[in-house]
Amino acid sequence: MDRLPASPGERPGAAQPPAGPAGAGAGTGFGEWAFVQSPCALAVFGADLRLVRANAGMELLLSRTEDEVLGLRWAHIVPDRRGEAVERGMRQVLDTGEPQSLDVPVPPVGRGAGGAGKWSGSVGLVRDGEGRPCGVCLAVHPRPTAEQRSPAPGGTGTGTSSAIGGSNVAEGARELADRFVPGLADVAVVDLLEQPWEAPTDGGGGRPHADTAAGSGPGSALDGSGAPGAARGGVGGGVVGLRRMGVRCAPEVGGEAVLLAGLGQEAVCPAWSPVAACLGTGQGIVCDAAGPTVVRWVGMDSQAAWITGTGIRSLLLVPLLAGGMTLGIAVLGRSRTRPFAHEEVERAAEIAGRAAAGIHAARRRARDRTSTMTLQRSLLPQTLPDQAALEIATRYLPAGGPAGIGGDWFDVIPLSGARIALVVGDVVGHGIRASATMGRLRTAVRTLADVDLPPDELLTHLDDLVIHLSADETTTTGSDTASGIGTTCLYAVYDPITRRCTLARAGHPPPIVVTPDNDAYFLDVPPGPPLGLGGLPFETAETELPEGSLLALYTDGLLQTRERDIDEALDTLFAALTHPSTTLDTVCDRVLTRLLTHPPDDDIALLIGRTRTLPSHNVATWELSPDPAIVAQARQHTTRQLTAWGLDHAVFTTELIVSELVTNAIRYGHPPIHLRLIHDHATLISEVFDSSNTTPHLRRARTYDEGGRGLLLVAQLTERWGTRHTPTGKTIWAEQTLAPM
């Protein structure tokens, strides 16, 4: 970015600013001078959130020149959690287009007059000449001191220069009530609409209603059958969906118990009440607590009983307006000092407006979190597959910190030959886009697993996919933060027949094995690079696991705890895994209980499996000669074995399958040829191996074709079939689900 946008157009004949210094180039001009000389510390960041401009005030604040910080992110300039929070705020502005107010930490060496850590900031969106988002602008200014926030005689004492927010809706409502008392009112009540209304367009908050402070006379808006717009959100002539979220009462005022009793309760206000009038018009109201409309309202609405219980004499009502929506209402009362004046409505509306912006942002964050959680839950496995290779238990905990839900996932995928694949991954970033990226990657892993790729080849294909996603993301949004670059993944395949486990990992923590004799250790799996970097290979590790071994896969959020360093967390994890337990669910719960003392700052996915072994008498293998006459012998082997297993009802179908697979291997493959039958509970698997690498393809034979119907017949007789390649050849397999006898 060469320069800031030009200042507004100049009037004909108006005095022009003097020309810039010679050789200043196109970056000079009135707007440029205003940026450089602004008393406020200003910085402009590009769409990748890297610094592209900083004025003299920002250089003074950071004690670093623009050249020293050019191209850095704020989290690199101020490397702590507060710096990361500012960067998250910038990202939110880029995503939503709505400005953000936030605390801005500065380095301790900063020469700003306010000192380190005593600054507030605002982040706004920067658009290019065609109106497209191209970056953000950060404006930093000193936070008011306690003396500056203290009320002057006759003032509000509300600290109007500071932001009102809160990490959630309830906290924002409570903070607003606290801000009003005792500086502006003796009592403050904040009621929020559970479903916000569209804000009225015929008037705005901060202007007094037609009612007078002396009371509501006949014909005033508060004495009619309804206020303008009050019917919105009303049922049966009343405003519903209001819930009391914040109350504050000065210590000298009685009736605090009445206020606290209503906290969290729902209110139904009559359509002619002051609350309905304020919400309906979007304007502030001042009224006498002894007026007939207020007295009538107090008598009909139990949530208004505090007006009588606290001895209130004057009321001021202001709506909470933000984002084109009416979020609720603040009702202020005075009992000891002079009645509210109409001039104070604007002051109260200003405070309420800032609070409404914070509440609106908190509500949006809660809504986004709910949407992200729903998406994340829907993309994770809803049930675990029924299989005999492993006993499995899983846990998923979403992040509870300000960063939001991430893209951690796990999966359990049945493979051919009674094998099982275990997957755990962690998508970089947080929010709904990270969850969506997770869903794409999980689907890709399942697709690649279905073609029986070895773990290292699967991760290579997944790495290519992330690179393509990154290119698409950069093209459409100019950012790669949600494309999956930096994603980690661990893919493991366990064979219950050989008890061999084959694994590969892409930047992911290694799995932990606990043997039946309680010996725990990390599996030595070569640490491949995270996904999306490209050009680097992944390596496979293979090990034999005794029957009854525990295999624990997890994401790094499990070990990133506030109270423990990594070594202590690992010791705690090993101790929890080695503690004797009857079920894997107990093991999972113990791991989480011992490692977590608060909601995690990052997502946690935990998958624990206990290995099983398929008995040798459930597997039968024969070596066949490459002679067409051997097909009849293969059928005989099949019949005898199925009879021994008590599966006579499956003999006819299995003979057809074996005959077609063996014939295909003899005709198109190379010796040696092996036939293997696997009986796994209600599943019967037929496998034929040969040493060629040709892959059979399913096709539909024409009427007069003499061949081409074998694999079609196999596909129609079985639940699943496919080809599994090995370094020495291929295996064509077919899986049947046995009907109960």
Query: Measured in whole angstroms, how far is the alpha carbon of residue 366 from the centre of its chain?
Result: 11
Omega before 672 within 30 of 0, i.e. cis: yes
Give the mean pLDDT of 300-320.
85
Q: Where in the chain is the domain with CATH 3.30.450.20?
A: 38-142
Strands 729-737 and 550-554: unpaired
Q: How confident is the model at residue 218 (pLDDT cuts 50, 70, 90)?
A: very low
Which H/E stretch holds residue 398? none
Residue 236 has pLDDT above 60, yes or no: no
Nearest to 449 by CA among 420, 426, 490, 469: 420
Give the mean pLDDT of 28-50.
83
Give the mean pLDDT of 537-563.
90
Nearest to 685 by CA among 614, 741, 626: 614
pLDDT in the model for residue 82: 67
Among 110-114, 280-284, 324-328, 553-557, which stretch is predicted with the lowest mean pLDDT? Answer: 110-114
Give the mean pLDDT of 28-39.
76
Q: How confident is the model at residue 184 (pLDDT cuts 50, 70, 90)?
A: confident
Q: CB–CB of 604/557 below 8 Å? A: yes
Q: Who's near 464: CB < 8 A, 6+ residues apart? A: 534
Q: Where in the chain is the domain with CATH 3.30.565.10?
A: 617-737
Question: How many CB atoms are located within 10 Å of the residue 617 CB?
Answer: 9
Question: How many CB atoms are located within 10 Å of the residue 647 CB?
Answer: 17
Q: Who's near 29: CB < 8 A, 6+ residues apart? A: 3, 6, 7, 17, 20
| Model pLDDT for residues 99-154, shown as the tens digit of each residue | 888 777 766 444 343 344 457 788 999 998 888 899 999 998 765 543 344 343 33
Residue 7 has pLDDT above 70, yes or no: no
Angstrom distance (rounded) from CA 41 to CA 63: 12
Q: How confident is the model at residue 739 (pLDDT cuts 50, 70, 90)?
A: confident
Angstrom distance (rounded) from CA 29 to CA 226: 56
Which H/E stretch holds residue 656? helix 651-668
Angstrom distance (rounded) from CA 350 to CA 353: 5
Q: Where in the chain is the domain with CATH 3.60.40.10?
A: 380-611
390 HSE (CA, 13 A, CB side): 30
* CATH architecture of the domain formed by 617-737: 2-Layer Sandwich (3.30)
Among 34-48, 200-214, 505-519, 712-726, which stretch is predicted with the lowest mean pLDDT? Answer: 200-214
Q: Who's near 56: CB < 8 A, 6+ residues apart? A: 36, 37
Q: Which one has a higher pLDDT value, 467 or 704? A: 467
Q: Which one has a higher pLDDT value, 540 or 323? A: 540
Question: How many CB atoms are located within 10 Å of the residue 252 CB?
Answer: 9
Q: Which one has a higher pLDDT value, 732 or 306? A: 732
pLDDT in the model for residue 233: 45
Nearest to 672 by CA among 712, 622, 727, 633: 622
Give the mean pLDDT of 338-354.
86
pLDDT in the model for residue 421: 96
Most confidently modeled range among 121-125, 197-201, 618-622: 618-622
pLDDT in the model for residue 398: 81
Estimate the crossing angle of helix 584-595 against helix 566-578, to 10 degrees: 150
pLDDT in the model for residue 376: 67
Most confidently modeled range among 317-326, 366-375, 538-547: 538-547
Residue 344 has pLDDT above 80, yes or no: yes
> Topology of 380-611 in CATH?
Phosphatase 2c; domain 1 (3.60.40)
| Model pLDDT for residues 368-417, shown as the tens digit of each residue | 667 666 766 777 777 888 888 999 999 988 876 555 677 788 999 999 99
Residue 605 has pLDDT above 70, yes or no: yes
Residue 515 has pLDDT above 90, yes or no: yes
pLDDT in the model for residue 547: 94
Angstrom distance (rounded) from CA 465 to CA 159: 52
Q: How confident is the model at residue 213 (pLDDT cuts 50, 70, 90)?
A: very low
Which H/E stretch holds residue 31? helix 30-37
pLDDT in the model for residue 478: 52
pLDDT in the model for residue 684: 94
- For residue 652, count CB atoms less than 10 angstroms from its CB and return exposed for 0-12, middle for 13-18, buried for 19 or more: exposed
Among 13-17, 51-55, 272-276, which stretch is predicted with the lowest mean pLDDT? Answer: 13-17
* CATH architecture of the domain formed by 152-367: 2-Layer Sandwich (3.30)
| Model pLDDT for residues 637-691, shown as the tens digit of each residue | 999 999 999 999 999 999 999 999 999 899 888 899 999 999 988 899 999 999 9
Q: Where in the chain is the domain with CATH 3.30.450.40?
A: 152-367
- The amino acid occupying position 436 is A
pLDDT in the model for residue 400: 67
Omega before 580 within 30 of 0, i.e. cis: no
Structure tokens at 309: 């219980």
Q: Who's near 137: CB < 8 A, 6+ residues apart? A: 42, 43, 44, 45, 123, 124, 125, 126
pLDDT in the model for residue 476: 56
Most confidently modeled range among 7-16, 351-360, 549-558: 549-558
Among 237-251, 468-482, 507-521, 530-544, which stretch is predicted with the lowest mean pLDDT? Answer: 468-482
Give the percent of the chain with pLDDT over 90.
30
Give the mean pLDDT of 720-724.
89
Residue 251 has pLDDT above 80, yes or no: no
710 HSE (CA, 13 A, CB side): 19
Q: CB–CB of 221/209 below 8 Å? A: yes
Most confidently modeled range among 124-138, 357-371, 608-622: 608-622
Give the mean pLDDT of 283-301.
86
Please provide residue 595's backbone torsions phi and psi, each rounded to the nearest 5 degrees: -90, -25
pLDDT in the model for residue 164: 58
Residue 53 has pLDDT above 60, yes or no: yes
Instruction: Return mean pLDDT, the chain.
Output: 79
Query: Measured in whole angstroms, how far is the alpha carbon of residue 457 from the centre of its chain?
Result: 29
Q: Which one has a higher pLDDT value, 305 or 515? A: 515
* CATH architecture of the domain formed by 38-142: 2-Layer Sandwich (3.30)
pLDDT in the model for residue 239: 62
pLDDT in the model for residue 651: 93
